[in-house]
């Protein structure tokens, strides 16, 4: 395994020191004011517009959910924080003298 790593390092060093010129893609290699470059710029702007619209939709969805949650919370009556024993609808069940039905 160590021998393979050493061979790979030597190969990477040889390739990186090779004096051949770098080859750019056809769009990057040409003139900056050519129709191909102009078309590529419009493509980039179009894709950027799509990304902005999608992210805007996600943000709008979260804002809409937050507003709905706030509206529901405002419309719902607040529940009491705590109920002391002997109060509330279950006061008979909490009472120590509550009658317990016996089975026959």
54, 48 Cβ separation under 8 angstroms: no
Residue 82 lies in a domain: no
pLDDT band at 92 (very low <50, low <70, confident <90, very high): low
For residue range 44-68, list pLDDT tens digits in order: 999 999 999 999 999 999 999 999 9
Q: Is residue 47 part of a domain?
A: yes
* Mean pLDDT computed over 32-40: 81
Domain that holds residue 49: 35-73
pLDDT given for residue 25 in this prediction:
64
pTM: 0.47
The two tokens of residue 73 are: 């919370």
Gap between the Cα atoms of 18 and 15, Å rounded: 5
Return d(Cα 28, Cα 34) in angstroms, integer. Answer: 11
Domain membership of residue 23 (yes or no) is: no
Residue 103 lies in a domain: no
The distance in angstroms from the start CA to the end CA of the chain is: 82
Would you say residue 81 lies in a domain?
Answer: no
Instruction: Tokens 């026959």: give the residue.
Output: 104
What is the C-alpha to C-alpha distance for residues 19 and 9, in angstroms, rounded to an integer? 18
Q: Is residue 53 part of a domain?
A: yes
Please give the tally of structural domains in the chain: 1
Is 62 part of a structural domain of the chain? yes
Would you say residue 60 lies in a domain?
yes
């Amino acid at each position: 395994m160590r021998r393979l790593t050493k061979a790979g390092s030597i190969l990477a060093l040889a390739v990186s020191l090779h004096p051949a010129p770098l080859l750019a893609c056809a769009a990057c290699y040409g003139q900056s004011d050519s129709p191909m470059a102009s078309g590529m710029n419009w493509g980039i702007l179009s894709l950027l517009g799509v990304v902005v619209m999608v992210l805007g939709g996600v943000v709008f969805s979260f804002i809409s959910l937050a507003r709905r949650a706030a509206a529901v919370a405002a419309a719902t009556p607040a529940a009491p924080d705590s109920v002391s024993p002997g109060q509330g609808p279950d006061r008979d069940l909490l009472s120590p003298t509550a009658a317990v039905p016996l089975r026959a």
